[in-house]
Each structure stands twice: as C-alpha cells, then as structure tokens.
Amino acid sequence: MRPAMPTPLQSFDLLTLADAAKLLHCSKAHVCKAVSGRIRGCTPIPAVSIGRRKLIRRETLRLWIERNERETADATISTLPERDSGECA
C-alpha cells in the first residue's frame, strides 16, 4: 500500500491568527499587530489576506521567528561596548 500523497492545499499548512498566537504564546491581537507591522523592532509577519481574514503559512512563521532571532542577536552584539584589553599604551 502506497503512502497518501499530500494534496497541494495540505502543503500550505495555513494558520489562522489564533493558531499563530497559540504557537507564539501570545494574544491574537498581538499577532495581528505583528502582521500589520505595528511592533517596533520586529519585521511584519508575512500573511495572506482573504477579505478581512489573515492566514499565515506555518513555514513562513518559522522562518520569521528565525530571522527575528538573528536580527535581535546581531543588534545585541553591535550595541555591546568594546572590552578594554587591559593593556596600557
């Protein structure tokens, strides 16, 4: 017996804002703000609009999290003060 082939729609693995909020451990309102780009220091979450409804691909959300982790780490490193080597001139 052959394994079932995923249909094209299953490969999208779309999340509602409520689904994304559960995965991110935050409110649906906060995800809505993140999608619309209203969170300072955070790139907007890419989403598909169907009328007033917004849907986010699971893979897109994962990539968005990774990108924001890198940007946060890079920003933290670039704002750290330089360490004094302890040598006198």
pLDDT at 87: 53
pLDDT at 89: 45
Q: How many domains does the chain have?
A: 1
Residue 50 buriedness (CB in 10 A; 0-12 / 13-18 / 19+): exposed
Q: CA-CA distance, 59 to 13, in Å (whole number)?
A: 8
For residues 28 and 47, is the Cβ–Cβ distance under 8 A? no
pLDDT at 21: 98
Considering the domain boundaries, does residue 83 fall inside one? no
Considering the domain boundaries, does residue 56 fall inside one? yes
pLDDT of the chain along its 89 residues, tens only?
Answer: 555 655 665 667 999 999 999 999 999 999 999 999 999 989 999 999 999 999 999 999 999 999 999 888 887 777 766 665 555 54
Considering the domain boundaries, does residue 37 fall inside one? yes
Quote the domain boundaries for residue 35: 14-76
Q: CA-CA distance, 89 to 68, in Å (whole number)?
A: 40
- Pairing type for strands 48-50 and 53-57 reads antiparallel
